[in-house]
Amino acid sequence: SQQGEEDPQALSIQEGENATMNCSYKTSINNLQWYRQNSGRGLVHLILIRSNEREKHSGRLRVTLDTSKKSSSLLITASRAADTASYFCATDATNAGGTSYGKLTFGQGTILTVHP
């Protein structure tokens, strides 16, 4: 079963606009990660946020994590046509004792299209 569910499934915006993608998950986690995939390529790691962190920045990326709501969001500011890709969240779930299972579970992704 899918641990992470991204929303929306597809997002179409103009260059310069901000893009926000959301991820919801079901169980306790050790960390949550966001990845990007260009067509025909492997996934590329963007950012990792730990369960005790609430916000993290990397360049034009901002990730938030709300463990009480079991949700995360990825914000890409001032989008560019080159940001067109699929974006995935992935979670490292933990057992009842808080120990990581040590393997990531991916959602189905959000397809982002940025029009020039």
3-state secondary structure 58-78: ECCEEEEEECCCCEEEEEECC
The least CB distance from residue 92 to other proteins, in Å, is 4
The least CB distance from residue 108 to other proteins, in Å, is 4
- Residues near other proteins, by CB under 8 A: 1-2, 30-31, 33, 35, 40-45, 48, 88, 90, 92, 100-109
* Cβ nearer to other proteins, comparing 44 with 82: 44
CA distance 99 to 14: 42
The least CB distance from residue 78 to other proteins, in Å, is 24
